[in-house]
Amino acid sequence: MIWRRLKHLLPSRRRAEERDMQEELDALVQIAGERELGNLTLAAENARETWQWTSLDAVVADVRYAFRGLRKNPGFAAVAITTLAVGIGANTAIFSVVNSLFLRPLPVQDPYRLVVLAPRERGSSEFHDLSYPDYRDYRAHAGAFSDMLGFAVGMDGIAVDQGTHQVLTSYVTGNYFSMLGVRPALGRFIEPAEAETPGAAPVLVLGYTCWQRQFNSDPGVIGKSARLNGHAVMIVGVAPEQFHGTFSLAETDAYLPVGMLAIEDSSFWTARGKRELRAIARLKPGMSLKQGRASLQVIARSLAEQYPDTNKYTSMEAYPEWRARPQPDSAGSWPAMVGIFLTLAFIVLLVACVNLASILRARGNARESEMAVRSALGAARGRLVRQLLTENVLLAIVGGAAGILLSTWISMVLSSICTPIDLPMVRLNFRPDWRVFAYAFGVALLAGLMVGLGPMRSAWRSNLSIVLHEGGRALSGSRRRNRRNVLVVTQVAASMVLLIAAGLLVRSLEGAQRMNLGFDPHHVLNLSMDLHQIGYDESRGKNFYGELLARARALPGVESAAFVFSVPFFHDRFLSTVHIEGRPLSPGAAPSDVSYNVIDPALFQTLRIPILRGRGFNEADNETAPPVAIVSQAMAERFWPGQDPVGKRFRITKPTNPLLEVVGVARNAKFVRPTPEAEPYFYVPLSQNYTARMTLQVRSSRPAEALEREVLHEIRALAPDLPTYDVRTMEESLGGTMGFFLFRVGADLAAGLGILALFLTIVGVYGVSSYAASQRTHEIGLRMALGATGQDILRMVLGEGLRLIGTGVLIGLGIALAVSRAISSLLVGVSASDPMTYTAVSALLGGLALVAGYMPARRAMRVDVMVALRHE
Amino acid sequence: MELLQGTLDMLTLRTLLFGPLHGYGIAKAIRSTSNEMLEIEFGSLYPALKRLEAKGWIASKWETSEHNRRAKYYRLTHAGRKQLTREHSKWTEFVDAITRVMGNAPGEVER
């Protein structure tokens, strides 16, 4: 039975069937006469229908027919497929970014049951990490989870034979690999006893890429010893190739026992204030996220009662793992951004589809007669609609395939746009997977339907007699023209919305860059280093800092040099609660979090931040002197409004910590983020707050490359093994993840999409106008014969275009005004209804569209009356 | 008289029970068996034949007619015979049911 149907798929078989049917009908005509048998063409068409409808043959026949149609019109096919490819490609590329960032699950067992713990202090919008004892308590008591792992991410120095490399490390609990259910590619993983027993011999598991890159995939590394930050470790295994660790976006190079965090400070095991771990838990089967959250909150409350010093204000939330990349984010700014860009990309698709619809409309002229003739010969309407549907879907699929190809190229461009300068290890893998293909396919089908709806509807309704009797000219009827006008208006309006969004984002980038940062980023070179990585202790470190500063300042052309923990917009910073002396917290109020920085006294000169009151730090502020701090204007106004803050004192972290005395007030400088409002901020001296990871900032009018070489030379002379990283000018560094990065990505993406839409719209308007003008040649000829001048014709044609484009621009402006609020969270220094953007975009789009409409109109004006009248 | 929807297949199968016929022959046979009451459109019959053939209920073969003319003859297959039995009993049930609902002609309904 199935074979009987399938064999119809063979073209030869089908031809034989067709021949046989003709012979049979001919024979019957011989017997009965044509009159007796009635409409044989209809009978044959219906017979064909029955066997086609029951077999796949119908589809094959339609597809073959559609292919033939495309081959016969290569120009049309090329334009249509390119247009679709642009629309589908843009959408697929944006989606593949979303996919790689948020949708692709971790390559572990049952990834959708993983939940990230997100502890937060009351009043703070940001989540923090967990201390080891807190982690133990959550792990032991959270009943909704079958297991819970903890890990801490670090940048460390690893030395195998010689030379130290900086690697991204994860310090993991003993159940890390077993809970995730991954198997080692080589050797073994870290045993529970090795990970969480004080004093256990340290072991190391290499990431697969690190093993390939730094060890040439040598299986002999197992059992080798290495030095991590100067401590001996033994390499025991290699992680599998697909597994990149649980710190999403970046690839972990080495996994270490969490106990190594306690080597230099054994309070790690017990101090609840030492928050260093991120925890991921696995929900028990049948447990919901809500239940999981509830069970965590119970523990958070009991910890707050038991340990009020550290846990009093801590509350606990939890997010599915894919929602917490790269870290839990309560504001949900990533999903918002993703939604905005998917929408913008969708507008490009809409514009592309409208273009294609216009082209099909023009081409529909010829098709209309074909359809009418087939219909008159007895083809069912359903059959014709199906044929058109097949053609559009085929077009969409070919366009979609081209779009996927295009999107892999766009993705390559995107991954270079989207790799932040300060986090080069970020792993952006936009490689398409089934989700991307499914999305592209869905978008392509949608495009096919959008494009095909018009022609399909008219085929369904096609009024035979009109088409057959009045021929081509019936097609310039007013209903038809109206539909064409709708297409133009839609296209212009959609492009307006997209271009305004793009304009606002570009203006926002300008706004961010134009912003008064409060420091001078020009002519400053940054070099980062971490003395931990070569195992320096505090006293060696302090010597090194002093020595390097002296050598750097002695280099020719160096104006000033200083160490700083967080350079402006650095991805890491200190954040602490602040307790003001003599001002106990009112009950129930949570202390405020303030960001601060550890600096060398000369930083204020190096970044040219003026001290407004009091003094800067100096040599006298050393370990033995009373602890001091310098606060920003914003911090002074927040905590001591109307008073002189100099001489006031405060504590950080805990109310029992030593008091810091404010010795000066510095002008507001934006260290954390380029936001318009100034946040409270303060500085403490490096001499009183030793930190192993610092950045050297050197101000010099000399070119950065020469200076860089000389400074690196001095570092190597002092500590030959010390790796340096993030070596770049301060201006470059402003483009980092916390700096202008997102502004730039947003502006680049939106501008790219905007240019695509603009291009498509111009082409579309030009095409529609040309077609309209050619359709009206006869009418124009008549008007001219009746005395209209070329000027009149030009005015008429252009006036019509102007009206259409104006309508589109106005509608677009209205929609943009209504929806631009959605992107206001991404805007800095420009309002969502920025009149300049709206005016400029209207002028640009309106102007270009008019030019595109003008050229065909000019041609129409020059029409020869006789030719036009004879035109049919 | 117009054919009741869906009965053409059944009528065709029943007609072929007497022996193979060509397409026009089937139309003629139904017409004469029904005392010229049933009007068979060849335009509907022909696709129906193709449909029945695709389902395997009838089979076709080129043969020579009584007037020495070649034509394609359709005959009932084994599967078609079974199908006819099914359709026949369905039809009887259908007629019974309709008759029960319709009862006597409206003029004779008891008051």
By the CB < 8 Å criterion, does B81 face chain A?
no
Q: How far, in Å, CA of A327 to CA of A571, rounded?
A: 13
Q: Give the residue among A758, A778, A726 at the shortest CA–CA distance from A851.
A: A758
- In the three-class reduction of DSSP (H, G, I as helix; E, B as strand; rest coil), residue A120 is classed as strand
Please state the rounded mean pLDDT for residues A421-450: 80
Q: Give the residue among A260, A126, A33, A57 at the shortest CA–CA distance from A594.
A: A126
Q: Is the pLDDT of residue A330 over 90?
A: no
Q: How far, in Å, CA of A146 to CA of A850, rounded?
A: 66
Q: Which of A24, A40, A55 sits opposite B72 (nearest CB)?
A: A24
DSSP A163: S
Residue A414: per-residue pLDDT: 80
Question: A38 and B41 in contact by Cβ < 8 A?
Answer: yes
Q: Comparing A165 with A600, which gets the higher pLDDT?
A: A600
- In the three-class reduction of DSSP (H, G, I as helix; E, B as strand; rest coil), residue A359 is classed as helix
Q: How far, in Å, CA of A429 to CA of A438, rounded?
A: 18
| Local confidence band at A862 (pLDDT 50, 70, 90 cut-offs) | confident
Q: Comparing A264 with B105, which gets the higher pLDDT?
A: A264
Please state the rounded mean pLDDT for residues B65-85: 87
| Percent helix, strand and coil across chain A, each to the nearest 5 | 55, 15, 25
Question: B50 and A36 in contact by Cβ < 8 A?
Answer: no
- Which residues of A are less than 8 Å from B23 in CB distance? 24, 28
- In the three-class reduction of DSSP (H, G, I as helix; E, B as strand; rest coil), residue A623 is classed as coil
- In the three-class reduction of DSSP (H, G, I as helix; E, B as strand; rest coil), residue A149 is classed as strand
Q: Give the residue among A90, A3, A101, A121 at the shortest CA–CA distance from A55.
A: A3
Q: Which of A27, A46, A50 sits opposite B54 (nearest CB)?
A: A50
Q: Comparing A427 with A105, which gets the higher pLDDT?
A: A105
Q: Give the best residue of A25, A26, A50 to mutate against chain B (max B CB count within 10 A).
A: A50
DSSP A268: G
Phi and psi, residue A158, nearest 5°: -120, 135
Question: B47 and A24 in contact by Cβ < 8 A?
Answer: no
Question: B54 and A32 in contact by Cβ < 8 A?
Answer: no
Q: How far, in Å, CA of A871 to CA of A851, rounded?
A: 26
| Local confidence band at A57 (pLDDT 50, 70, 90 cut-offs) | low
Q: What is the DSSP string of chain B?
A: -PPPTT-HHHHHHHHHTTS-EEHHHHHHHHHHHTTT-S---HHHHHHHHHHHHHHTSEEEEEEE-TTS-EEEEEEE-HHHHHHHHHHHHHHHHHHHHHHHHH-S-GGG---
ipTM of the complex, rounded to two decimals: 0.85
Q: Is the pLDDT of residue A237 over 90?
A: yes
Q: Comparing A547 with A476, which gets the higher pLDDT?
A: A547
Task: Quote the tokens at residue A385.
Answer: 């609609």
| A424: CB partners within 8 A, 6+ apart | none
Q: Is the pLDDT of residue A467 over 70?
A: no
Q: Give the best residue of B39, B42, B78, B83 to mutate against chain A (max A CB count within 10 A).
A: B42
Over residues A353-365, the pLDDT tens digits come to 888 888 777 776 6
Q: Is the pLDDT of residue B100 over 50?
A: yes
Residue A475: per-residue pLDDT: 43
- Which residues of B are less than 8 Å from A24 in CB distance? 23, 71-72
DSSP A113: G
Q: At residue A506, what is the residue type?
A: V
Q: What is the DSSP string of A54-68?
A: TSTHHHHHHHHHHHH
| A38: CB partners within 8 A, 6+ apart | B41, B42, B43
Q: Do residues A105 and A111 make contact, with C-beta atoms less than 8 angstroms apart?
A: yes
Question: B71 and A28 in contact by Cβ < 8 A?
Answer: yes
Task: Quote the tokens at residue A368.
Answer: 């209309």
Q: Comparing A755 with B36, which gets the higher pLDDT?
A: A755
Residue A169: per-residue pLDDT: 93
Burial class of residue A857, CB neighbours in 10 A (0-12, 13-18, 19+): buried
Q: Do residues A288 and A82 make contact, with C-beta atoms less than 8 angstroms apart?
A: no
Q: Is the pLDDT of residue A120 over 60?
A: yes
Q: Is the pLDDT of residue A465 over 50?
A: no
- Which residues of B are less than 8 Å from A6 in CB distance? none
Q: Is the pLDDT of residue A808 over 70?
A: yes
Over residues A794-806, the pLDDT tens digits come to 888 788 888 888 9
Can you give the pTM of this predicted structure?
0.73
Angle A814-A819-A821 (CA atoms, 0-180°, nearest 5)? 120
**How many residue pairs from chains A and B have C-beta atoms closer than 8 A?**
64
- In the three-class reduction of DSSP (H, G, I as helix; E, B as strand; rest coil), residue A662 is classed as strand
Burial class of residue A608, CB neighbours in 10 A (0-12, 13-18, 19+): middle
By the CB < 8 Å criterion, does B61 face chain A?
no
In the sheet with B21-22, reading across from the earlier edge strand, the strands are B21-22, B70-76, B58-64
Question: B47 and A43 in contact by Cβ < 8 A?
Answer: yes
Burial class of residue A358, CB neighbours in 10 A (0-12, 13-18, 19+): buried
- Tell me the percentage of chain A whose pLDDT exceeds 90: 40
Nearest-CA residue of chain A relative to B22?
A28
Q: Do residues A578 and A612 make contact, with C-beta atoms less than 8 angstroms apart?
A: no
Cross-strand bridge partners of residue A166: A157
Q: What is the mean pLDDT of chain A?
A: 85
CB neighbourhood size of B109 (10 A): 8
Q: Give the residue among A685, A694, A541 at the shortest CA–CA distance from A619.
A: A685
Is the torsion defined by CA of A685, A691, A695, A700 positive or negative? positive
- Which residues of A are less than 8 Å from B70 in CB distance? 27
Q: How far, in Å, CA of A696 to CA of A136, rounded?
A: 38
Query: Beta-strand (E) ranges in A520-617?
Result: 524-530, 558-564, 574-580, 592-599, 611-614
Residue B107: per-residue pLDDT: 64
Residue A55: per-residue pLDDT: 53
Task: Quote the tokens at residue A757.
Answer: 């839409």
Q: Which of B22, B47, B70 sits opposite A47 (nearest CB)?
A: B47
Question: B54 and A5 in contact by Cβ < 8 A?
Answer: yes
Question: B24 and A44 in contact by Cβ < 8 A?
Answer: no
Which range (A87-91, A348-352, A761-765) has the least confidence? A761-765
Chain A residues contacting B via beta carbons under 8 Å: 1, 4-5, 20, 23-25, 27-28, 30-32, 36-40, 42-44, 46-47, 49-51, 54-55
Question: A24 and B71 in contact by Cβ < 8 A?
Answer: yes
Q: Do residues A118 and A127 make contact, with C-beta atoms less than 8 angstroms apart?
A: yes
Over residues A470-516, the pLDDT tens digits come to 444 444 456 666 777 888 899 999 999 999 999 999 999 998 888 88
Q: Give the residue among A580, A585, A690, A591 at the shortest CA–CA distance from A631.
A: A580
- Tell me the percentage of chain A whose pLDDT exceeds 70: 89
Over residues B18-74, the pLDDT tens digits come to 889 888 889 888 888 888 888 888 888 888 888 888 888 999 888 887 777 888 899
